[in-house]
Structure 1
Amino acid sequence: MKKIHLLLLKSFIRPFAVTLFIVMFVLLMLFLFKYIDDLIGKGFAWYTILELMLYNSATNVAMALPLSVLLSTIMTYGSLGENYELVAIKAAGISLRRAMYPMIVVVSVLSISAFFFSDYMLPVANLKYFSLLYDARQQKSADLLPEGVFSRNFPDYTIRVKRKDPDGQRLYDIMIYQKSSDGNNTIVTIAREGLMFRTMGDKYLVLKLKDGVRYEESPSENVQWNPRQVLRRFRFKETEQKFDLSSFKLKRTDENEFKSASQMMNLKQLRGFIDSVQTQVDGTLSTNYKMLTPYIKYFSLPAKSAAIKRFIPADKGGVLKSMKLTEQIMALSTASSEVRSIKDVVKNRTDRYNSDSMTIRRYASEVQKKFTLSAACIALFLIGAPLGAIIRKGGLGLPVVISVIFFLIYYIISTIGEKSVRAGNVSTFFGMWVAIIVLTPIGLFLSYKAATDSVIFDIEIYKRFFNKLIRRKSN
């Protein structure tokens, strides 16, 4: 029995490691294709790109792990069935359910590990990843002086280079506009050619200009009214201008600014945040009546007593009929003003309540995600293992197609459920667990069919069935 368990474990670990690597690689390529324009050409160090890819890989575990479990189990049991090893196991008096015990233990350990990963490591990875990606996307391009474009990469300067050598060092037909103290472009430098290089430590960019002229406008001196402009012109054979490169270095934003997002919190922090927001919402609801009371004017009449000589009965036709025309107009104007004030107050309070409720639903759905990842691994295993035993095909052919179909069903249902939760259409628990609720009965049904040697995927049986139907219709 131990040899059979070792055989199953060896048959599962290798496909699982390979499929997990392939899925992670594909998701990483999707990330690079999506943000290639934000990363290329900005002068990042190689370790910065590697760090970003590492954090992205950690955030992809929530999608890659269930798919890898599904695909590897189909491949494992499909390969065993294709090589008639499952037949030999059953011939030895060992049922399929008993043969699945070591796999169930391994998948259970993976599910528990996935929960702890999503609760402890994933929030840290999300924080590092999104903060670094935000800073990378905000970074300026490393192409400081593109050809034929008025570049404003440097503060207070607008520079145009008509042509550059292939090495990017020698420049031709250079025009530099520099802002003066009053914010106008009154200083212009034109040069026929120039040489561009950086100082040690990439602190400054130096332009060594040749054969040019510098124009500068400034107000005349010692004139209090209607100052005339003074134009100065300087010709030079060679001069240098330095530009600060500090704005082109990657500046890291404080990570504390991202910690309030739901993806950056663990289970304890999420529940604490939800409780605080819920307390705030409950307090707001209790104060709504107190805020609306000053806008509602009403009068209460005391009970009839001996002190009151005579009561004036109310007009059954309405209160307004007992008033004069001017009093009616004033009463209606006052009432409409009070209604508008109440509507404004209620609208502001309603918008705030809806915003807080949406925040609670978003954070509550993140709480359920911590558990659905583990449940998804078990549910997809219950589908993959019997499917592999039924179809009896190993490798990366038919198992890949079937696993992708079931994973797409799981992903689409879970996405629709999550969006419905955040929109407030369904409860948080049902919306986040609907995919597991749908797939688990399918997995149990397939497990039953595999244990009873069902031929549910035998094409010949379906051909015979449809041929019988055609014959009956023809008769």
Structure 2
Amino acid sequence: MKKIHLLILKAFIRPFFVTFFIVMFVLLMLFLFKYIDDLIGKGFEWYIILELMMYASATNVAMALPLAILLSSIMTFGSLGENYELVAIKSAGVSLSRAMYPMVIVVALLSITAFMFSDYMLPVANLKYYSLLYDARQQKSTNLLPEGIFSSNFPGYSIRVRKKDPDGQRLYDMMIYEKNQSTGNNSVVFAKEGSMYRTPDDSFLVLKLKNGIRYEETNGDKGFNPRQRLTRLRFKETEQKFDLSNLKFKRTSESEFKSAYQMMNIKQLAQTRKIAEHGLDSALRTEFQVFRPYVKYFAVPYQRKLHQIGYNIDKGVLSSFKPTERLGAVNVALGEARALKDLLDSKVEREKDTSRGIRSMIVEYQRKFTLSAACLVLFLIGAPLGAIIRKGGLGLPVVVSVAFFLIYHIISTIGEKSAKDGHIPPAIGMWIAIVVLTPLGIFLTYKAATDSAIFDVDIYKKVFLKLIEKKSKIFGSSDAASA
């Protein structure tokens, strides 16, 4: 028995690691394709890109691990069935469920590891990943002076270069517009050609301009000439420095991202949810005290006194006012109604935002558990499915596993979105994919244990031919009866 268990474990571990790293590589490539425009041409050091890819890989574990378990389990039992090893195991008196026993233990350990990872490591990885990605996307391009457009990379300056040499150092037909906010001076510099280089400490960009002219507008002498003064200066060669300190890569404090629910563990989510629900309940209890000044009423115990004050029940409240007072009363009532409506609208929006935040907390809380459950359910589907189709390798198992994983992913995505929108309870939305696929896994396990060939095309062909024969007999008998 131990040899059989070791055989199955060896057949499972190798394809599991191979498929896991393949899926991680594919997801990492999708990440690079998505954010390639935000990373290329910004002068990042190699370790910044490597660090970002490492954190992105950590956030992809939640999708790669269930898919790797599904694919490797199909490949393992498909290969065993294709090589008639499952037949030998069953002929030795070992049932399929008993042969799956060691793999169940391994997958259960992987599920526990996935839960620990999602609760302890994933919030930290999300915090590092999103903070670094935000800073990378905010970083300005190292192409400080692109051709044919005005560049505003330097505060207070707008620079246009008509043409550049392929090496990017020689510049032609330049225009530099400067606006001094403190003195109100404006200046424009035109140069036919020039070159640029950085200082050794990479603190300044130096533009060496040749054959140009400078126009500058300054405030005139208030005592003598209040009009502005225009100065024109021609030059053959000059230099101008631009500060590069604001273009260097800067990291934002990670404390600004810690309030996001993806960066919290189970304990932090529970505490934050408790505080939010307490604040929502307190706000609802105090609503009446806020609305009370806008609600005016009076009580008259007897209908006789209504007639004494001139109120006619049939004609309405306005009948008790004089014709000249009715317009003023209506305007006052409309004003108070509008004020109350504005107050209600703001409070309703605040309550919606709080409720939406609470639902998002519950979704993230349940996500910690659904990852582990997904590993178990997809293994429960993949192992018997591999024993039924009896095909190993990366052909049919990949197609089948991707199809089932897409079903799981689509159902879970729809459920999560519906839960965040408030259409269904968050717990149901996060567990609906598990609930839908678990009966399917139990059904496939039963079919595999009973050696059912549900994927045998010949069986369905025979059933289809029998149906055709029955229909032909029915139609043939009805034609004979009519004749």
Range class of TM-score, shorter chain: over 0.9
Superposition deviation, residue 329 in structure 1: 5.3
Superposition deviation, residue 435 in structure 1: 0.2
> Structure 1 residue 317 and structure 2 residue 334: aligned?
no
* Uncovered stretches (5+) of structure 2, i.e. residues with no partner: 474-483
Listed one character per residue, the Cα deviations across residues 61-102 of structure 1 (whole Å, up to 9, x for unaligned) are 111111111001000100010011111111111000001111
> Structure 1 residue 299 and structure 2 residue 298: aligned?
yes
Measure, in 2, the Cα distance between the counterparts of 1:216 and 1:154.
Answer: 19
The corresponding residue for 1:394 is 392
- Give 1:11-22 correspondences, 5 Å limit: 11-22=11-22
The corresponding residue for 1:379 is 377
* Contact 1:41-1:141 within 8 A present in 2 as well: yes
* Contact 1:320-1:328 within 8 A present in 2 as well: no
Amino acid at match of 1:106: V
Amino acid at match of 1:398: L
In the alignment of these two chains, the number of paired residues is 471
Amino acid at match of 1:256: S
Q: Would the alpha carbon gap of residues 110 and 186 (structure 1) be closer, same or farther in structure 2, given more than 3 Å must change?
A: same
Superposition deviation, residue 190 in structure 1: 2.8
Q: Would the alpha carbon gap of residues 440 and 181 (structure 1) be closer, same or farther in structure 2, given more than 3 Å must change?
A: closer
Measure, in 1, the Cα distance between the counterparts of 2:436 and 2:149.
Answer: 57
What is the SS of the residue equivalent to 2:341? helix
Amino acid at match of 2:10: K
Amino acid at match of 2:384: P
Measure, in 1, the Cα distance between the counterparts of 2:152 and 2:318.
Answer: 74
- Give 1:327-338 correspondences, 5 Å limit: 332-338=330-336
The corresponding residue for 1:368 is 366
* Contact 1:420-1:426 within 8 A present in 2 as well: yes
* Contact 2:185-2:216 within 8 A present in 1 as well: no
Superposition deviation, residue 349 in structure 1: 1.8
Listed one character per residue, the Cα deviations across residues 392-450 of structure 1 (whole Å, up to 9, x for unaligned) are 00011111111111111101111111111111111111111000000000000100000
Measure, in 2, the Cα distance between the counterparts of 1:298 and 1:276.
Answer: 36
Amino acid at match of 1:61: V
The corresponding residue for 2:478 is none
* Contact 1:220-1:230 within 8 A present in 2 as well: no
Measure, in 2, the Cα distance between the counterparts of 1:136 and 1:222.
Answer: 49
Instruction: Tell me the C-alpha RMSD between the 2 structures.
Output: 2.4
Measure, in 1, the Cα distance between the counterparts of 2:39 and 2:181.
Answer: 35
Amino acid at match of 2:353: S
The corresponding residue for 1:217 is 217
What is the SS of the residue equivalent to 1:457? coil
Measure, in 2, the Cα distance between the counterparts of 1:300 and 1:159.
Answer: 75
Report the identity percentage.
Answer: 63
The corresponding residue for 2:8 is 8
| Higher deviation after alignment, 342-351 or 423-432 | 342-351
What is the SS of the residue equivalent to 2:201? helix
Measure, in 1, the Cα distance between the counterparts of 2:56 and 2:151.
Answer: 33
> Structure 1 residue 246 and structure 2 residue 245: aligned?
yes
Listed one character per residue, the Cα deviations across residues 330-365 of structure 1 (whole Å, up to 9, x for unaligned) are 555544444333333322222211111111001111
Superposition deviation, residue 41 in structure 1: 0.6
The corresponding residue for 1:429 is 427
The corresponding residue for 1:205 is 205
The corresponding residue for 1:114 is 114
Measure, in 1, the Cα distance between the counterparts of 2:259 and 2:224.
Answer: 56
* Uncovered stretches (5+) of structure 1, i.e. residues with no partner: none
Amino acid at match of 1:473: K
- Give 1:415-426 correspondences, 5 Å limit: 415-426=413-424
What is the SS of the residue equivalent to 1:174? strand
Listed one character per residue, the Cα deviations across residues 247-271 of structure 1 (whole Å, up to 9, x for unaligned) are 2211111111111111111111111
Listed one character per residue, the Cα deviations across residues 162-187 of structure 1 (whole Å, up to 9, x for unaligned) are 22222222222333222235676732
